């Protein structure tokens, strides 16, 4: 998933949330990922790790992380680094 695709994902969610209410799932996110043959489960896991458990939260929480990812690859969920606090 490239930063450009991430941006398209958030644009897609944003556009659809302006037409209908968030139903507390990532339905628009999943719709976009499916229709673009992107790794749905992987991206959903990333969104959830960023605090985006539904479409409006994805916009509110995960979109901020997009800026960080613009210079490199998609940010990995913290849990996968193996760090122990
Ligand atoms: Zn929501």
| pLDDT of 2 | 85
- List the chain domain ranges: 3-70
The answer to whether residues 70 and 28 touch, using CB atoms and an 8 Å cutoff, is no
How far apart are the CA of 62 and the centre of ligand 1, in A? 12
Q: Note the pTM of the prediction, 2 decimals.
A: 0.76
How far apart are the CA of 4 and the centre of ligand 1, in A? 23
How far apart are the CA of 66 and the centre of ligand 1, in A? 18
Give the Cα separation of 2 and 7 in Å (integer): 9
Per residue in 8-67, pLDDT tens? Answer: 999 999 999 999 999 999 999 999 999 999 999 999 999 999 999 999 999 999 887 777
How far apart are the CA of 23 and the centre of ligand 1, in A? 6
How far apart are the CA of 31 and the centre of ligand 1, in A? 15
The answer to whether residues 6 and 40 touch, using CB atoms and an 8 Å cutoff, is no
Give the Cα separation of 27 and 65 in Å (integer): 20
């Amino acid at each position: 998933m490239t930063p450009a695709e991430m941006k398209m994902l958030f644009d897609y969610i944003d556009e659809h949330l302006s037409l209908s209410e968030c139903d507390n799932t990532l339905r628009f996110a999943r719709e976009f990922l499916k229709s673009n043959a992107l790794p749905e489960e992987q991206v959903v896991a990333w969104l959830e790790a960023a605090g985006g458990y539904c479409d409006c939260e994805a916009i509110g929480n995960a979109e901020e992380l997009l800026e960080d990812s613009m210079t490199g690859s998609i940010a990995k969920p913290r849990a996968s680094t193996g760090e122990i606090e």
